[in-house]
Each structure stands twice: as structure tokens, then as C-alpha cells.
Structure 1
């Protein structure tokens, strides 16, 4: 059985994934991370767990052969709960979720759980590893210091910069609940004083030809190009934007592959920019990034390849277990 950890509003990507597993006669279990709360009965010990979800479906960790941690959302709080108890409710259920996941670390995950957390939480580490593998990165500052940010702007940004939050700030690729990347120039630099309340990442604005969303699956690339050259982020811009298939240069593929291997990631949605200077700029990799628009509009078999990767690694894992048992 393959366990897929997602959320209750997930659709399309996850539906294609499950349909493909059905074709292969491989059982699966959907665990909605936001419903991992009082609605479910959960027992965890040092080696295993047992769970009954809100619909009555049961799963035991011994039956799980692989995991795809697609998305984790904030745990839903019951409406009837006294607000004085909300903090401890969230804290303890988050701890229960973390402990549940840790019992599965010995089996294949599409991305190893600890590796994914480490990379997803540290954009500066991403840039460091990308640069190590010969990818071009923008000059970057993560700060809450008005003076340092102003100096950075004048020294590196040629009159125009972008500021963005470090964390995940969007629920979907259509801009729902999306806080846009902010463009900073001389006219609004004076408002940077409020940065003390919310540190942000600052980079020079790159004049671009287009943006690239690259889905990497264990050495395989599915790349979409979107015709956005004037806006800082196509997801919140108004215009006639469309995806087209794109063939990455081999040296970029080689660098991205080396980067992903060092990050210990089998899957990631990578954002890059092709600058008007002809250079490719690496921006970030999101281990849980969206790719449904590429599957839908370009017919990329991404969901199927994710399933294939897990199936292959299940077989390898079981062969290794059998070999080790035979040696003993």
C-alpha cells in the first residue's frame, strides 16, 4: 500500500495519481493532513501506528510500503473548542502527526521526510547548494534591518529589487490566498522601515525573457515555459499567459540533477528565469510544489512518473530486505 499525505481540498493531481495506482492494482490510502485531529482515532507507539479516519477507513503502518508527502496543511480546529485551548490543541496534534510520520522513516518516501523539511525551510541553503553546482543565483539578502536592506538596494539592485516572504504563502497556482512578490524602487524604498515586523528576502529585479517551472523526478525533467516577461510573478498578474513545453540545456539539467541529489530529493518543482542577458537564474525548489497545470496543459505524465518511482523503489527496498535476511 502507498500512503499519500495531502489535504482535504486537494484534487486533480492526486486524482490522477490514484487512478494510475488503480490501473496497476496497487492499494493506496489518502491521509488528509488538515483532518489529522479529533475526527480520527490514532494510536502511535515507538514502532508503528494505527489510524481510523473520519469515514471509518482503517490503516496500520505495517501495511504501508511507501509514502508520498504531497502536502501538509494546518490542522483544522473544531468550532466548539474553547479558544483558550486552541494553541495546545494545535501543538499536540502537530506533535502526534510528526510522531506518526517518523514511524515510517524506514520505508521509501518520494522525498525523505527530514531532507524535505530541511530544504523547504531554508531558502538560503537552497541557493548555496545551487551555486555550488554551477547554477547562477541572484544576489540575495534575508533581513529585517532597514539600513542593511537600503545599502543592499543601492549596491546591488540598480534601482529595482524584489522582496518576498521566505515561507510557503500560496495554496494554489491560480493565486488563491497568494501574497505577491513586491517590487521595490526608489519611490517606495522609504516604506521599508516596517520590515522589522516581517523579515523578507531581497534580490535584484531580473529583466527576464520568460519564467520556467521545472518538475524534477529522479533525473527526469518536465519543463514548462510561461510567457511572462514584464511582471514579477505570473500567478498574480493579469494577462494572456500560457504554458509551452521547453527543452532545458543539458548543462542546466546536469547542474540541477547534482543539486537535487545533494539535497536528497527525488521530486521538486524548480523555478528559474531566463534573463534577457541570456543567462538562466535559479530561484528556488519547492519539494511540494505545484505541477498540475503542466500535466493538464502540456500532457506531461508527472503523476504517473511519481507513482512509477515509488513502485520501483518499493521493489528495490523489498529485494534489499530479502537479501539481508538471506545473509543472516
Structure 2
């Protein structure tokens, strides 16, 4: 019987909820938590002159007609090496991480005949720079942006903007630290004189964008050409004004369903087609002047935070999307 392969991460609640619907519809599937793959599963890739076959536990890749790439998880070198204070342990851990990434790429290549929900190759090739280029090509409005490693270039760009600017990671935002202290690498407002007092002339290339005063923030879950939009009234709270992901748990932002203009819907569909994605969580803002501005898409973004407040029942819709791809 054809099966669905779910590639996700340990403890992902959104995956659990979608799997509940797959169980309800009595569909065969196998869940692989990528962060537990090496410790809890048996994998092998046999290659010879005439044939190649990947096996996961007792299943061959040909058993899976549909693959859902939900999350990648976090590689743990502790699964493969003993803890030690050896001076080379950090370098070895880095090497193992690269080897693990190469293995995951080999795994995904073996599913050439499967239908994908969130194709991992498209995800891996889509950085924020490419997103902005494709969004503009698709007719979406984007913030004026500069990626640079040079202080003079940054100062000139801030002068050109004549207002507030924002700095963002080129990759995904991260939270790291110790059990006692957590630190967030996420979008931050810049003062107009920030780089004038910056001692280094060169720095790691960074994404600087114009800061747009927003009327509302929009989180849009995209699935098979359909958009499920939610308005977030984050501008009313200083804590969430720059980025609603600076959550105020004591006084949460208001979330409501939102109907996007047809022209924006068409441009989003065009952008996702250019990006090679059939699902993803899109962040946009509607400015006080009425502009709908694209910020980014996260192909692996959360959808329950849109589903629950807006009664979109996205978990069931994703399950039905996977089931339809089996046929």
C-alpha cells in the first residue's frame, strides 16, 4: 500500500496534530524525526552499476509515494561521539555536522519519483536574498534593502532612507545561550547613527532594510495555491512593534482572519511558483499608507498559530493535501 513519509523534528506539536488527522482517515505513513534519525532508525543506501535503493528501517524509498518535509530538527553530535575535552572535539563536531547534512541531501535525492509537500531542495536553495528578488519579480512590494559588510556603505544607505532602518539575519532568526540566559538573533531597529559609532570598518555581511510603519502585520499560510491569512495587531504593543515574534505572553497580540486583495493573492501564487514551494508561512505587513509589503517566507514555518485563532483547521487541510497526493 502506498505510504506517506513525514520528515519532521522531535516534539513538533504541529506534526502531531496533522498525524491525528491521518490516523482519522486511516492512511499509512511513517514519521521520521530527523534529529533522532541516526539514533533510532536504520538507514542504508545501496548503489551499483544498474540500481540504487535507499532503505529506512524495513521500507524502501519506492514504498513512499508522498514525502512531507515539515522540519529538519537539530543535529546532535553527542549521538555519534563521546563527550570529551579534547582540543579537536569542536572541529570533529563541525565535521560530523557537515557529514550529516550531506547524508540528508543524499536521502532526499533518492525520492525523485515521490510527490513532495515542501520540497527540501527548494527550501535549501531559498535564502532571504533570493526571496526578495523572486518576490519583486512576482509583483510583490518589498522593502528597500542592502546587504553589505562595509561601514561606509551602511552609513550611506541609512542616510538615503532618511528614517528608521532595521537589521536582520541573512538566515533564520536564532535563540541561543545557557540554561540561565537566552539571547535572540532577530530583527532589530537601528538608530541613524549606529554605524558612525561602529569601530570596525568591515563586519559580517548583514541585511539592512527600510523600517516601515505598519498598520497591521500579516501571517499567511500557503498550501497548494490557497492562502490562509491572519492579521496581527502587533503595532499596538512596544514589545512586538518591530516583530510580533517578540511575544508578549502577558498581553498577547490580537489575531483575526484577513481577506487579502485578489492582486496580492495572485502575486503570492506567482512568487511561490517561482520559489518552487507548494507550502510555507509568509510574513507581510500592510503599511499605514496601504502598501502590502513582502518580508519573507519560511517554508517550515508554524501553521497552528494561524489555524487556531482563525478556525482554518489547517492540520486537516494538510492531511487531505497529503492524501490527495497519494492518488
Name 1:133's counterpart in structure 2: 138
Tell me the distance in 1 between the aligned counterparts of 2:21 and 2:199: 52
Name 2:34's counterpart in structure 1: 33
Asked if the contact 1:127–1:137 (Cα under 8 Å) also holds between the matched residues in 2, the reply is yes
Q: Any idea what the Cα deviations from partners look like across 1:118-161, whole Å, max 9, x if unmatched?
A: 22xx2122111211222111111111111111111101x22310
Q: Cα offset for 1:190?
A: 3.1
Q: Which runs of 5+ in 1 are unaligned?
A: 53-57, 316-328
Q: May I ask how many residue pairs the two structures share in their alignment?
A: 302
Match of 1:199 among 196, 205, 209: 205
Q: Cα offset for 1:285?
A: 1.1
1:240–1:25 CA distance, 2 compared to 1 (3 A)? closer
Tell me the distance in 1 between the aligned counterparts of 2:165 and 2:41: 47
Q: Cα offset for 1:179?
A: 2.2
Tell me which moved more, 247-256 or 76-85: 76-85
Tell me the distance in 1 between the aligned counterparts of 2:289 and 2:312: 29
Tell me the distance in 1 between the aligned counterparts of 2:65 and 2:184: 35
Q: Cα offset for 1:6?
A: 0.9
Q: Any idea what the Cα deviations from partners look like across 1:196-247, whole Å, max 9, x if unmatched?
A: 4432111111011110000111111111111012511011154541211111
Asked if the contact 1:227–1:241 (Cα under 8 Å) also holds between the matched residues in 2, the reply is yes
Match of 1:235 among 245, 254, 258: 245
More strand by share: 2
Q: Which runs of 5+ in 2 are unaligned?
A: 176-181
CA RMSD of aligned residues (A): 2.1
Asked if the contact 1:146–1:193 (Cα under 8 Å) also holds between the matched residues in 2, the reply is no
Tell me the distance in 1 between the aligned counterparts of 2:106 and 2:201: 36
TM-score by length of 1: 0.85
Name 1:2's counterpart in structure 2: 4
Name 1:164's counterpart in structure 2: 168
Match of 1:294 among 280, 302, 306: 306
Asked if the contact 1:169–1:177 (Cα under 8 Å) also holds between the matched residues in 2, the reply is no
TM-score by length of 2: 0.86
Name 1:154's counterpart in structure 2: 159
1:191–1:51 CA distance, 2 compared to 1 (3 A)? farther
Match of 1:257 among 261, 269, 278: 269
1:194–1:104 CA distance, 2 compared to 1 (3 A)? farther
Aligned pairs for 1:27-106 within 5 A: 27-46=28-47, 47-52=52-57, 58-78=58-78, 80-82=82-84, 83=89, 85-106=92-113
Tell me the distance in 1 between the aligned counterparts of 2:173 and 2:92: 26
1:198–1:112 CA distance, 2 compared to 1 (3 A)? same
Tell me the distance in 2 between the aligned counterparts of 1:143 and 1:137: 18
Name 2:178's counterpart in structure 1: none
1:38–1:91 CA distance, 2 compared to 1 (3 A)? farther
